[in-house]
Amino acid sequence: MKKLIVVFILLTGSATLKAQIAIKAETIYTVSGSPIRNGIVLVKDGKIENVGTGLSIPEGYKIFETKVLSPGLVDARTLVGISGSLNIPTDQDQLDKTSPIQPELRAIDAYNPEEKLVKVVRDYGITTIHTGHGVGALVSGQTMIAKTKVGTVETVVIQPLSMLAMTLGPSVSSNFTSPGTKAKQMAMIRMEFIKAQSYQKKQTDKDTTKRPAADLKMDALVKLLNGEIKALITANSSNDIMSAIRLAKEFNFKLVINGAAEAYRLIPEIKAANAEIVLHATMARNGGDMVNMNRESAAILTAAGIPVSIESGFEAYVPKTRIILF
């Protein structure tokens, strides 16, 4: 069986979980080591048991041959499984526009593992996705981490709650009548965090009768304030990135800047904030608040010691997703 690229994705299908497989490749890329030339990967019961050169292939193993073999890819931010390929209201669950702040919305309740786009990205070698509620609300909801293998939500999910998805910038004002300005965006978010701090304090009151009733919105924000999860704030322009940094400093939460088109201009500030970057897709269009994007950002930020991962992000048009492989 000859293919240009075969990924370890062979392990993600339910039919291969008990298979005994040997994959011969001219080049094998590993996670942490140097590429292996003319190597073999042995897979037993769905798990890699050995990688190297000159390995003996046990009797009964199904043999595949390819030119290039690599581990499965991880998409650091996507909406696959929540935003569907049909592009009709019934398969677009990524953004609820009834309110600009809804941290209580769980990705696991919206994720569809049978969505066609899950198979599309799997076929291109993406075996793990960080997906969830989308860009365009101050707090659109939660994100999750899942495998792209076949199964139910419960069997594919790795982390049901990963981060809170937030947005600063023009897309918020285009989706809601309020906030209409950047100053209003920050004021509204800060007010909710102040409420969450009060709720957090009352939860530990020695007098149990004074403790607040359960509040899903506040509970989600308190998880962020407690450091249990991170804030994934989409911010592209320099001033929006700085607003995200100020917000994280004021409320002492862990910050991941998403999109980050102008992050290369703020390296000292980002490093001082201990922020991570989920960088926009290389093929993203440089318009709007991404007009000053730099296609060398990943190299610049990495050289500066800032943690960087790359996302496919979101596409409003069909086929509704980019492929991080490209």
pLDDT score at 7: 52
pLDDT band at 314 (very low <50, low <70, confident <90, very high): confident
Kindly provide the residue ranges of all beta strands, DSSP E only, lying in 53-95, ordered along the sequence.
62-70, 73-78
pTM above 0.85, yes or no: yes
**Closest by CA position to 275, among listed 228, 221, 236, 231:** 231
Q: Can you read off the two tokens belonging to residue 187?
A: 């004021």
| Domain range list for the chain | 5-71, 74-310
Q: Looking at the predicted structure, is the pLDDT value of residue 18 above 70? A: no
- Among 29-43, 98-112, 159-173, 215-229, whose mean pLDDT is lowest? 29-43
Q: Which one has a higher pLDDT value, 185 or 6?
A: 185
* pLDDT score of 66 more than 60: yes
Helix (H) or strand (E) holding 255, with range, is: strand 255-259
Strand partners, 92: 83
* Cβ neighbours around 59 below 10 Å, total: 6
Q: Which of 43-52, 74-83, 113-122, 281-290 has the lowest mean pLDDT?
A: 281-290
- What's the pLDDT at 10? 47
pLDDT score recorded for residue 6: 47
In 41-57, which positions are buried (b, 16+ CB within 10 angstroms) versus exposed (e)? Answer: bbbeebeeeebeeeeee
User: In terms of residues, how long is the chain?
Assistant: 326
Are residues 233 and 258 in contact, defined by beta-carbon separation less than 8 angstroms?
A: yes
Tell whether domain 5-71 is in CATH 3.40.50.2000.
no
- Cα-only R_g, the chain: 22
pLDDT of 4: 41
| Res 12: pLDDT | 46
Q: Look up tokens 């490093």; give the residue.
A: 271
Q: How many degrees, rounded to 5, is the angle at CA 68 between CA 282 and CA 303?
A: 40
CATH 3.30.365.10 fits 74-310, yes or no: no
